[in-house]
Structure formats: structure tokens, C-alpha cells
Amino acid sequence: MTLRIAFSTVNDALGARPDAALRSTAPRSVLEAVTFGRPIAD
């Protein structure tokens, strides 16, 4: 769990965003539930 938090913190600090592949592979229910953070890159 700690590694996951650290990884997320570093990505956020670097301005990294999820790639567009996430949008095409994540279930619709997940995409609708996640309403925080940076937008998914196009």
C-alpha cells in the first residue's frame, strides 16, 4: 500500500496523466466512478 501511495505521489508531482488506453480498457463503471485527479490524456 505504501509503495502505491508513493508511486501516485511521484506521478502527480511530475504531472503524469493516465494514457488514452486506460479509457478504452477500463470498465464504464470505473470511468464513471473516478471523478477526481487529472483528466485522462487523449
| Of 13, 19, 9, 14, residue with least CA distance to 39 | 19
Listed in order, strand segments (DSSP E) in 1-42 are none
Regarding predicted confidence, which is higher, 28 or 34?
28
pTM of the model: 0.44
Burial level of 24, CB count in 10 A (0-12/13-18/19+)?
A: exposed
Q: Report the distance separating Cα 9 and Cα 4, nearest Å.
A: 9
Regarding predicted confidence, which is higher, 18 or 5?
5
Q: Which residue bears the cell 477526481?
A: 36
